[in-house]
Structure 1
Amino acid sequence: MSEVRVGVVFRPELPPEELRETVIAADEAGIDELWLWEDCFREGGLTAAAASLAWSERLTVGIGLLPVPLRNPAVTAMEISTLARLFPGRFVPAVGHGVLEWMAQVGARVESPMTLLGEHVDVVRRLLHGETVSVTGRYVRLDEVALDWPPEQVPPLIVGARGPKTVALAGELGDGVLLDAELVTPEYVASVATRVTEAAQAARRPAPQVVAFAEIQAGAPALGDRARALIAELASAGATSVILQCLSYDPDPGPLIAALSPRQQPSVPPRSVVRHDGESPGAGSAPSGTEVGMSDNRAELRREARKIINDSLELLGRDLSKLRRKFPPIGFAEEGGLIRIVPDNSYLITEETARVDYGTGGVHSAEALTPGRLWKFQNARWGYCELTLTVNAQRKPQLTLTVNAQRNAEFRQNSKTYPGDTAGWQQMLTDLPTRSRGWGRFRGR
Structure 2
Amino acid sequence: MLKISAVLPAQLPTAACVTAARLADKAGVHRLWITENLYTRGAFALAGAMAAVTERVRLATGTVSPFLRNPAVLAMEAAAMQEISGGRFSLGLGSGPAPRLAQAGVHTEKPLSDLMEAVEVLRAVMSGGTADHHAITLEPPSPSCAGVGVYLGAIGQRMLGATGRHGDGLLISMFCPRAQVRDSIATARSSAAEAGRTPGDLDVVVYVPISASMSDPVGARRRGRAFLAENFARFHGVEAYERMLQRSPHVDHDVIAGIATAYLGGAAFEHLISDELLDDFVICGSEEQCARALGLWSAGELGVNEVALAHCGPEDGLADAIEMLGVLASAQL
TM-score (norm 2): 0.71
Cα distance between partner residues in 1 of 2:186 and 2:118: 24
Secondary structure of the corresponding residue to residue 320 of structure 2: helix
Matched, 1:217 2:211: yes
User: Relative to 1, partners in 2 of residues 1:33 and 1:226: Cα closer, same or farther, differing over 3 Å?
Assistant: farther
Per-residue deviation, 1:63: 1.0
Secondary structure of the corresponding residue to residue 234 of structure 1: coil
After superposition, where does 1:225-374 map in structure 2 within 5 Å? 225-236=288-299, 237-247=302-312, 252-262=317-327
**Who is 2:180 aligned against?**
188
Cα distance between partner residues in 1 of 2:40 and 2:10: 6
For residue 166 of structure 2, the aligned residue among 155, 160, 173 is: 173
Deviations along 1:46-68, whole A, 9 cap, x unmatched?
11111111110101111110112
Cα distance between partner residues in 1 of 2:320 and 2:117: 40
Q: Contact (CA 8 Å) 1:62, 1:93: kept in 2 or not? A: yes
RMSD of Structure 2 on Structure 1 (CA):
2.2
For residue 163 of structure 1, the aligned residue among 156, 164, 181 is: 156
**Who is 2:36 aligned against?**
38
Structure 1 unaligned spans of 5+: 136-141, 266-445
Per-residue deviation, 1:85: 2.5
Cα distance between partner residues in 2 of 1:194 and 1:60: 26
Specify which structure has the bigger relative contact order, considering alpha-carbon pairs within 8 angstroms and separated by 6 or more residues. Answer: 2
Secondary structure of the corresponding residue to residue 37 of structure 2: coil
Q: Contact (CA 8 Å) 2:22, 2:54: kept in 1 or not? A: yes
Of Structure 1 and Structure 2, which has the larger fraction of its residues in helix?
2
Cα distance between partner residues in 2 of 1:262 and 1:100: 39
Q: Which amino acid aligns with 1:154?
A: G
Q: Which amino acid aligns with 2:161?
A: A
Aligned length: 256
State, as a whole percentage, how many aligned pairs show the same letter.
25
**Who is 1:377 aligned against?**
none
User: Relative to 1, partners in 2 of residues 1:263 and 1:240: Cα closer, same or farther, differing over 3 Å?
Assistant: closer
TM-score (norm 1): 0.54
* Higher Rg of the two aligned structures: 1
Cα distance between partner residues in 2 of 1:230 and 1:84: 34
Deviations along 1:304-349, whole A, 9 cap, x unmatched?
xxxxxxxxxxxxxxxxxxxxxxxxxxxxxxxxxxxxxxxxxxxxxx
Matched, 1:198 2:196: no
Of Structure 1 and Structure 2, which has the larger fraction of its residues in strand?
1
User: Relative to 1, partners in 2 of residues 1:248 and 1:70: Cα closer, same or farther, differing over 3 Å?
Assistant: farther
Deviations along 1:103-127, whole A, 9 cap, x unmatched?
0111112111111111011111222
Q: Contact (CA 8 Å) 1:29, 1:258: kept in 2 or not? A: yes
Secondary structure of the corresponding residue to residue 36 of structure 1: strand
Q: Which amino acid aligns with 1:88?
A: G
Which is further off, 83-92 or 210-219?
83-92
Which is further off, 42-51 or 199-208?
199-208
Q: Contact (CA 8 Å) 2:121, 2:130: kept in 1 or not? A: no
Per-residue deviation, 1:134: 3.0
Q: Contact (CA 8 Å) 1:37, 1:63: kept in 2 or not? A: yes
